[in-house]
Amino acid sequence: MSYLRPKFRHPLLPTNDHGYTTTDYEGSLSTLCAGCGHDSISAAIVQACFEINIEPHMVAKLSGIGCSSKTPAYFLGNSHGFNTVHGRMPSVATGANLANRDLIYLGVSGDGDTASIGMGQFVHAVRRNLNMVYIVMNNGCYGLTKGQDSATADMGSKSKAGSVNPFESIDLCGLALELGASFVGQSFSGDKDQLIPLIKAAINHKGFAFLNVLSPCVTFNNNVGSTKSYDFVREHMEATATMDFVPLSTEITATYAEGTTTSIPMHDGSLVHLQKLAEGWEPGDRLSAIQALQHARMESKVLTGLIYYSPEGHELHDVLNSSVRPLNTLSQQELCPGAAKLSGMNAELR
Amino acid sequence: MQPTNTKDPEYYHKVVDCQYACPAHTPVPEYIRLIAAEKYTEAYMVNWESNVFPGVLGRTCDRPCEPACRRVRVEEEPVAICRLKRVAADNKGDLSEYIPQGPFPSNGKKIALIGGGPASLTVARDLAPLGYELHLFDEQPAGGGMMRTQIPSFRLPIAVLEEEVGFILNMGIHTQFLTYVDSLKSVIDKDYDVVFVGTGAPRGRNLSIPGRDEAAAHIHIGIDWLQSVAYEHTSSIGKNVIVLGGGNTAMDCCRTARRLGGEHVKVLVRSPFKEMKASPWEKEDAMHEDIPILDNHVPVSFVHENGRLTGMMFEIVHAVYDDNGKRSLVPTGEPHVFIPADDVLIAIGQENSFPWIERDLGMEFDKWDMPVVDEKTYQSTIPKVFFGGDAAFGPKNIITAVAQAHQAAISIDLYCKGTALTDRPHPMVNLVSQKMGIHEWSYDSMVTIDQRFIVPLADKKLTLCNRKMEVELGFDVATAWKEAERCLNCDIQTVFREPLCIECDACVDICPTACITFTANGTDAELRSRLKAPAQNLTQDLLVSDLLPTKRIMVKDEDVCLHCGLCAERCPTAAWDMQLFSYNTAKAGA
């Protein structure tokens, strides 16, 4: 087994505005199982960051514990990283974000890390509208401990050993919508054409951007009867819309058929272009999003693409009115205004 | 595009760039792996079977394999294939168990070989074990042809040549040295079943410009002069020497002149430096021995005083290219340049020469007065006369002569059996998985980023005063191992089996050189533009799969694939597999 990737690269690799190639966004060689969906998501993150010209040192990647949470080692090798305690990634992300709002916060978690041990943390990060991207690499099982059903395994889904899951699954997108997330998307690791623009838009979104990405576990959950296998997801995928993310700096060159397309401006003037496929679904209407999700669920379909998006809303910093500048750039004087100021504050409280 | 037909052995053969570029199609990666495994004898035999003179070629080959080496496409320098071949030759053990030993049971057929160079020797080697009785004629006192007379000993020690010529002659070849064949008719009239002509391109081109005849005593034809040096008829030259010509013979001439007393040896060539025919490394070796190469100098006249050469006049030109890229050398208008010289060596090309072939034998000659020879069968218009090597299609190099002679030997064998010459034996090909465990391969798949290692040279002070002292010392085995590790094992093919693919993209994500793309089908040109990285090298094929369940195809650009095996390691279903492709061209008797 190889633990190092050869250093040679294609001599004609495209470069982005910073002169970087995708190589500059790669991490070390993955040690996940061959064919793991998580590796595809890592590659999609690399491609998305490359395409929207992110400077790797402006990203903080955070994760919990699990197969999914190993992946930050395999992408953005030149970015900041924090591998937290199981399920505690949202707390660390919140702390880091409050200390320095200039960075892009990219949280990576799994179905266990989010829907089981980390559920208590996850829901609060959503309801506070913390400005971050939260990607769940959702394979419906505990791959690291030999594939037991996780809380997102669908009722009736069959495990590799043949047992059928008797419990209701947690629909993470539905939950995020319920808790007021301002950007909710769902995708599939095997569909990079959809996943990459979703990640790009999620990174550009100001507020909590949630992406639930179905990611087959090739070792423990890619069997016939599983609802998280490559074959099942491919056969049951239904997209809300095809989507393009058009950054602010880019001239719009693509042409779209009239009537079926919508362009939604993001906070900075970038555009999300949608070519709608689902009937009655409006990207900015939470009720229609919930309905579309429930509808798909009843039909054993997997609804993918952008589920809900609202450019409005206040992220946590706006609500708390916290420091615009990162704490590490504040001077001693600003951080510690002195005894006289303290006395004044104390006096106000008397 | 249609799915690639990988059943055609030429598809994977082309991926093995070095082997494909080699006229004899020597399985290069195969012997490099054997060298890395310190199996020098086996590595030598892989070469010997294919190119007959590994020790000679490991020092003197024109190396068409090296510019083709895949490594050039991801970094600057190819694997030192030629010098690794020499390592196998230098370190080989006892070959008596490996080389066919006569006497061989006779098949009753008798063949005359005219010329004792690489072509005739190759035919002899291929046919002797099949029971042919071979009679070899050469005007020289010993076998080897131009390898003996034109390649100086400081590049090719005579012992190396003699050993490899000996392997062949010891198979029971009847040699008639010091015998100049002055009539093809006299040979045909004897009871030979076949006559093979491997007489090379023995005539050096002359330069007829003013002063040539008057100063003739100190003007020499390069290859004749080299031969005279080789047989020790010539042992000195003037202090100031001009060598005319830009090919490898010119380089051999100037370096030999340096060893025979030439203190100020200059090479003058008409073309620009970078367009010279000499191999880059031979030019470097000449310059290393303090020999300036003056380009864009066209000879005007030989200057002489009282019948003695004093130097040469040259016109300065520059190269001008028309729209079709055709070059013409246009005088710059600068005054002519005089360069003093005591001796001039003319090395401006060689030609075939067949004064000994009677023109009334019924053999057809073309408009250049060259015999008409079939390009595949090497048969002349007299059915029992075959040609090979430089004698067939003009001067090329040793490895080409060997390759042609293999084909001629096949033809001769078919001819003697009464089989159609067009019914030629196919190459022996095989494709075998290299999987050893879940993620293990039987080859060293790790790609090293080492730069090409430099072959050490003997001290210039010593080599310049001893014509027979070899300049290159060759790799020691430790360096040879490191150089061998640079080989990318292009013969270990990435074999794709679409029924197994689940389209998980793992191969796309892992490939270090962005070779693999899953996309909608299209035409070749259009597909090349929308792959993960553009496929602009049109000499390299695209490996295209059949339609996959998602209505996409897998496209792999072979151009910069490192054969690192990561795609196959990351493939959960073994849709990708690393398989050793062996390709051995057929030899006579196959």
Tens of pLDDT, residues A287-312: 999 999 999 999 889 999 999 999 88
Number of other residues whose CB lies within 10 A of the CB of residue A189: 26
Number of other residues whose CB lies within 10 A of the CB of residue A151: 18
B170 inside 8 A of chain A by CB: no
A3, A8, A214, A230, best to mutate vs chain B, most B CBs in 10 Å: A8
Q: Using CA atoms, how far apart are residues B526 and B5, in angstroms rounded to an integer?
A: 20
Q: What order of strands is seen across the sheet that includes strand B576-584?
A: B428-433, B576-584, B492-496
Residue A61 lies in a domain: yes
Asked if B571 lies within 8 A of A35 by C-beta distance, the reply is yes
Contacts of B438 in chain A (CB under 8 A): 1
Of B438, B509, B565, the CB nearest to A39: B509
Q: What is the pTM of this model?
A: 0.90
Asked if B74 lies within 8 A of A12 by C-beta distance, the reply is no
| Residue A253 confidence (pLDDT) | 54
| Residue A102 confidence (pLDDT) | 96
Residue A17 lies in a domain: no
| Residue A252 confidence (pLDDT) | 54
Q: pLDDT below 50 — which residues of chain B?
A: none
Contacts of B227 by beta carbon, 8 Å cutoff, 6+ apart: B149, B150
Minimal CA separation from B571 to chain A, in Å: 6
B451 inside 8 A of chain A by CB: no
Contact B28, B22 (CB under 8 A): yes
| Residue B67 confidence (pLDDT) | 96
Q: Say whether pLDDT at A171 is over 90.
A: yes
B93 inside 8 A of chain A by CB: no
Instruction: Please give the torsion angle defined by the CA atoms of residues A292, A294, A300 and A306, in that order, rounded to the nearest 10 degrees.
Output: 40
Q: Say whether pLDDT at A251 is over 60.
A: no
Split at pLDDT 50, 70, 90, the class of A258 is: low
Residue A211 lies in a domain: yes
> What structural domains and CATH numbers belong to chain B?
110-202+352-417 (3.50.50.60), 205-348 (3.50.50.60)
Asked if B508 lies within 8 A of A4 by C-beta distance, the reply is no
Q: Using CA atoms, how far apart are residues B380 and B377, in angstroms rounded to an integer?
A: 9
Contacts of B450 in chain A (CB under 8 A): none
Minimal CA separation from A35 to chain B, in Å: 5
Q: Average the pLDDT over A240-248 and give the result.
A: 84
| Residue B405 confidence (pLDDT) | 98
Minimal CA separation from B557 to chain A, in Å: 11
Q: Average the pLDDT over A106-135 and give the result.
A: 97
A1, A2, A232, A235, best to mutate vs chain B, most B CBs in 10 Å: A2
Contacts of A163 by beta carbon, 8 Å cutoff, 6+ apart: A149
Asked if B509 lies within 8 A of A42 by C-beta distance, the reply is yes
Minimal CA separation from A255 to chain B, in Å: 19
Minimal CA separation from A339 to chain B, in Å: 58
Provide the chain A residues 21-50 that lie in CB contact (below 8 A) with chain B: 22, 29-30, 33-37, 39-40, 42-43
Q: CA nearest A213: which of A320, A325, A283, A134? A: A134
Per-chain mean pLDDT for chain A:
92
| Residue B326 confidence (pLDDT) | 92
- What phi and psi, each to the nearest 5 degrees, are found at residue B296? 60, 30
- Token pair, residue B284, equals 């470097």
| Residue A282 confidence (pLDDT) | 87
| Residue B189 confidence (pLDDT) | 95
Q: Say whether pLDDT at A255 is over 90.
A: no
| Residue A254 confidence (pLDDT) | 52
Contacts of A40 in chain B (CB under 8 A): 504-506, 509
Contacts of B446 in chain A (CB under 8 A): 2, 4, 6
Contacts of A11 in chain B (CB under 8 A): 73-74, 560
Contact A150, A116 (CB under 8 A): yes
- What phi and psi, each to the nearest 5 degrees, are found at residue A20? -85, 150
Contacts 24+ apart (CB under 8 A), B74-77: B74/A8, B74/A9, B74/A11, B74/B513, B74/B560, B74/B562, B75/A8, B75/B449, B75/B451, B76/B451, B76/B452, B77/B451, B77/B452
Q: Using CA atoms, how far apart are residues B119 and B135, in angstroms rounded to an integer?
A: 14
- Alpha carbon of B301 to those of B211, B220, B293, B431: distances in Å? 6, 15, 19, 61
A13 inside 8 A of chain B by CB: yes
B533 inside 8 A of chain A by CB: yes
| Residue B540 confidence (pLDDT) | 96
Of A8, A35, A36, the CB nearest to B447: A8
Q: Say whether pLDDT at A256 is over 70.
A: no
Q: Exposed/middle/buried for B403, CB within 10 Å: 0-12, 13-18, 19+?
A: buried
A1 inside 8 A of chain B by CB: yes
Residue A349 lies in a domain: no
Contacts of B76 in chain A (CB under 8 A): none
Q: CA nearest A199: which of A272, A140, A287? A: A272
Q: By percentage, how much of chain A surpasses pLDDT 70?
A: 97
Length of chain A: 350
Split at pLDDT 50, 70, 90, the class of A257 is: low
Of A9, A40, A230, the CB nearest to B512: A9
Of B533, B550, B562, the CB nearest to A234: B550
CATH number of the domain that residue A286 is part of: 3.40.50.970
Asked if B504 lies within 8 A of A37 by C-beta distance, the reply is yes
B512 inside 8 A of chain A by CB: yes
Quote the ipTM score: 0.89
Asked if B533 lies within 8 A of A43 by C-beta distance, the reply is no
Residue A72 lies in a domain: yes
Minimal CA separation from A235 to chain B, in Å: 10
- Alpha carbon of B271 to those of A139, B316, B320: distances in Å? 67, 10, 11
Determine the straight-line distance between the first and last CA of chain B, rounded to whole angstroms: 36
Asked if B509 lies within 8 A of A2 by C-beta distance, the reply is no
CB pairs A-B closer than 8 Å? 107
Q: Using CA atoms, how far apart are residues A242 and A261, in angstroms rounded to an integer?
A: 9
Residue A8 lies in a domain: no
Question: Which DSSP string corresponds to B129-194?
Answer: GGT-EEEEE-SSSSS-THHHHTS-TTTS-HHHHHHHHHHHHTTT-EEE-S-----HHHHHTTT-SE
Contacts of A235 by beta carbon, 8 Å cutoff, 6+ apart: none
**Closest A-chain CA to B573:** A35
B309 inside 8 A of chain A by CB: no
Residue A335 lies in a domain: no
| Residue B438 confidence (pLDDT) | 78
> How many distinct structural domains can be found in chain A?
1
A82 inside 8 A of chain B by CB: no
Contacts of B73 in chain A (CB under 8 A): 11
Split at pLDDT 50, 70, 90, the class of A243 is: confident
Q: Average the pLDDT over A19-36 and give the result.
A: 94
User: Which residue matches tokens 């400005």?
Assistant: A131
Range of the domain at A293: 22-320
- Token pair, residue A235, equals 């056969």
Residue A84 lies in a domain: yes
Helix (H/G/I), strand (E/B), else coil: A325: coil
Q: Say whether pLDDT at A259 is over 60.
A: no
A221 inside 8 A of chain B by CB: no
